[in-house]
Amino acid sequence: MRPFSSDSHSPLLGLKGFAILLVLLYHCVPSLYKIGTGICWIGVDLLLVLLGYHITSVLLTLKSRPEALSHFFLRHTVPLLVLYGIGMAIFFLVLPFCMPLDWIRDYLAYYDHQIWYWLGISNWLVTFQHHWPVVVKPILDHTWLFSLEIQLYLLWPFAVLFLPRRFLFPVCVFLILFSFVSRNLFENRGLNYAVSYVCTLGRLDGVCLGALVALIAKEEQKNTKWFQYAPWTFYIAVVLLLGLIVGSRSLSLKHPYFIRYGYTVLAILFTALLLLSLKEGTWAHKLTKNRAFLFLGNYGESIYLVHWFLYILLTDFFSLKFGFFSSPLLQSLANSMACLLCILAVAFVLEKLTRTLVGKPTPAATSLP
């Protein structure tokens, strides 16, 4: 069995689609929380690992080219910025003409700080304020991940392209430890969980573990031993995660156990899953060939950008439409399915619009997730 698939595009997109599915279940299907989907926020942690792997893989491929930096920015960063800019334009410029009256107060709360959102640094707004925006409907709170992604697309290329490759490994290890220590310091100071959850400095462990996989993949013939450890690492991380759940008696991302240890355990778990998916014949590789996962992965950036906003906007409307269901569970599920179909449709249009404007797909649809 070869250590890497000859077609790494499909399994990586499939993994991204799996992560997007988890996020959609967490945000848009609350009726299933009782059967355990309340833990599906972990999809974000998988996205962070894939983000680190994708950016580093592309940059290592370009490293020997003289125009590497400009090529990366034009090919990968610009489409992402255009997509994000369209999303912000819809919210800040179009929404005021069609939003419900009960949204006005929440809209103004975001409007007063809109510069943070336009610049792609909304996670730092939360970090400096020590809390999420004070709103009833958290329409833009999920964009912290987009902000972190934009920051990485702008800054990480300088580290990979200009540092000698032998220095990248220790840099990644240092940042992983720094991220772990930062979250524990935030928790020791009694800061709101949101700081640890969204601050760039506290979420680099997943990104850098993904980057380490990219470094190993570049030297695959010399480091195949790393992939032999992936199954055991995966199962040990699963056991640790179950231990955290039992110990905390919670599935919440807010619990101190998850803040202190859980995010790093999840980063290790998903790094092992990434390694497994890159090996042909493994269950992970086969799983990520699922067509539904591939579709979600192909439009992952657009889906993530609009899903929470559209769900909040549409859920009250569809609740009235499906009021004829006698079962609250069936009514909630029908509401969620209708919202998800609208989210997929809007994300498809948004992706096509972005490709039309820049002539290139967003990073979700490139050769890596």
Q: Give me the mean pLDDT over the 297-316 stretch.
A: 92
Q: Among the listed ranges 31-40, 94-103, 314-323, 336-345, which one has the minimum average pLDDT value? A: 314-323
In angstroms, the CA 288 to CA 294 distance is 7
Q: What DSSP designation does 341 have?
A: H
Q: Give me the mean pLDDT over the 52-77 stretch.
A: 92
What are phi and psi for residue 29, nearest 5 degrees? Answer: -130, 65
More confident residue, 83 or 321: 83
- pLDDT over 50 at 61, yes or no: yes
Report the share of the chain in percent with pLDDT over 70.
Answer: 92
Question: What amino acid is encoded at 161 in this protein?
Answer: L
In angstroms, the CA 123 to CA 202 distance is 11
Q: Give me the mean pLDDT over the 96-110 stretch.
A: 88
**pLDDT tens-digit profile of 251-295?**
899 999 999 999 999 999 999 999 999 888 888 989 888 999 999
Distances in whole angstroms, Cα of residue 108 to Cα of each of 15, 33, 112, 165? 37, 31, 6, 47
- pLDDT over 70 at 5, yes or no: no
* Lookup: tokens for 119: 């610049």
Where is 298: in which H helix or E strand? Answer: helix 291-298
Give the largest CA-CA distance in the chain: 65
Q: Give me the mean pLDDT over the 61-74 stretch.
A: 90
pLDDT at 280: 82
- pLDDT over 70 at 10, yes or no: no
In angstroms, the CA 304 to CA 145 distance is 9
Predicted TM-score (pTM) of the model is 0.92
pLDDT at 235: 95
- pLDDT over 70 at 231, yes or no: yes
**C-beta neighbour count of 321 within 10 angstroms:** 12
Q: Among the listed ranges 41-45, 79-83, 99-103, which one has the minimum average pLDDT value? A: 99-103
User: Beta-strand (E) ranges in the chain?
Assistant: none
Closest among 80, 87, 107, 112 to 96, alpha carbons compared: 107
Q: Give me the mean pLDDT over the 93-111 stretch.
A: 88
pLDDT at 219: 72
More confident residue, 222 or 359: 359
- How do the domains of the chain map onto residue ranges? 9-361
Rounded to the nearest integer, the mean pLDDT of the chain is 89
**C-beta neighbour count of 191 within 10 angstroms:** 17
**pLDDT tens-digit profile of 135-186?**
988 999 999 999 999 999 999 999 999 998 889 999 999 999 999 999 999 9
Report the share of the chain in percent with pLDDT over 90.
Answer: 69
Distances in whole angstroms, Cα of residue 10 to Cα of each of 22, 135, 224, 284, 360? 18, 39, 21, 12, 19
- pLDDT over 80 at 363, yes or no: no
Q: Give me the mean pLDDT over the 62-69 stretch.
A: 88
**pLDDT tens-digit profile of 199-210?**
999 999 999 999
